[in-house]
Structure 1
Amino acid sequence: MIKINIQTDNKRKFTIPVPYSFLRVFISLLSSKFLWRQANKWLNRQSEKTAAWPVSLDPSMIKHYLNPIIKELQHQKGLVLVDVKLQDGTKVTIKL
Structure 2
Amino acid sequence: MLKVKVKVKDKRFFIPVPYAVLHLGSLIITSKKINQIINKAIEKDGSKFIFPEIDRKDLKPLLQGLSKCSGLILVETKLKDGTEVEVKL
Shift in Å, 1:6? 0.7
Amino acid at match of 1:92: V
Aligned residues: 85
Structure 2 unaligned runs (5+)?
none
Aligned to 1:7: 7
Structure 1 unaligned runs (5+)?
none
Q: What's the secondary structure of 1:73's corresponding residue?
A: helix
Shift in Å, 1:38? 3.7
- 1: CA distance, partners of 2:35 / 2:87: 29
- 1: CA distance, partners of 2:85 / 2:47: 38
Aligned to 1:74: 67
Distance 1:58-1:89 versus aligned 2 partners, 3 A rule = closer
Distance 1:38-1:6 versus aligned 2 partners, 3 A rule = closer
Shift in Å, 1:4? 0.2
- 2: CA distance, partners of 1:83 / 1:50: 31
Give the structure with the larger strand fraction.
2
Structure possessing the higher radius of gyration over alpha carbons: 1
Q: What's the secondary structure of 2:62's corresponding residue?
A: helix
Distance 1:33-1:82 versus aligned 2 partners, 3 A rule = same
Aligned to 1:88: 81
Shift in Å, 1:58? 4.0
Q: CA RMSD in A?
A: 2.5
Shift in Å, 1:33? 2.5
Distance 1:9-1:69 versus aligned 2 partners, 3 A rule = same
The C-alpha deviation readout for 1:8-56, integer Å capped at 9, x for no partner, is 232x21100001111111111111132234456x28xx4xx887x7xxx
